[in-house]
C-alpha cells in the first residue's frame, strides 16, 4: 500500500475543509477503531495551500475520504515537508524515519 495525499487549496482551508476531514476521521475511529500505523500528517502551508498525507495503513480505512477529496497516491513525504501531526497514532512519526 502507498501513501496518499489530499491537496487543499487556501480557499478550502478558509472553508474549514480540514475540520470536515477531521470529523470524518473521528467518526471512523469511533465506528471502526484505528489500525496500527494509522496516521495523517499535515504538510507545510504554501502559496497554493497544504497537503494532508495518509500513511499506508490509513489509506484502506480512509479510502472514501481520500476519494471524496480527490486524494492521490504519493511518495512518502520527508520530515521537512511535514508541519504537524494531524490525526491518528503518534507512533506513526517513526514511519517518516525509514
For the chain, how many residues are written? Answer: 98
84-89-90-92 Cα dihedral, nearest 10 degrees: -80
Domains of the chain: which residue ranges? 3-89
Spatial neighbors of 56 by CB under 8 A, at least 6 apart, are 1, 2, 3, 37
Alpha-carbon distance of 51 to 66, in angstroms, equals 12
Residue pLDDT, tens place only, 47-92 = 999 999 999 988 788 999 999 999 999 999 999 889 988 888 777 8
Look at residues 31, 44, 32, 26 and name the one whose alpha carbon lies nearest to residue 88: 26
Residue pLDDT, tens place only, 20-42 = 999 999 998 888 888 888 889 99
Query: What pTM was estimated for this model as a whole?
Result: 0.90
Amino acid at each position: 500500500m502507498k501513501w496518499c495525499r489530499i491537496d487543499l487549496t487556501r480557499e478550502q482551508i478558509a472553508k474549514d475543509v480540514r475540520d470536515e476531514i477531521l470529523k470524518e476521521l473521528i467518526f471512523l475511529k469511533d465506528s471502526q477503531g484505528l489500525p496500527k500505523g494509522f496516521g495523517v500528517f499535515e504538510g507545510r502551508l504554501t502559496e497554493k495551500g497544504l497537503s494532508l498525507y495518509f500513511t499506508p495503513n490509513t489509506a484502506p480505512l480512509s479510502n472514501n475520504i481520500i476519494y471524496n477529496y480527490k486524494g492521490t497516491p504519493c511518495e512518502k513525504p520527508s520530515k521537512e515537508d511535514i508541519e504537524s501531526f494531524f490525526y491518528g497514532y503518534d507512533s506513526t512519526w517513526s514511519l517518516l524515519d525509514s
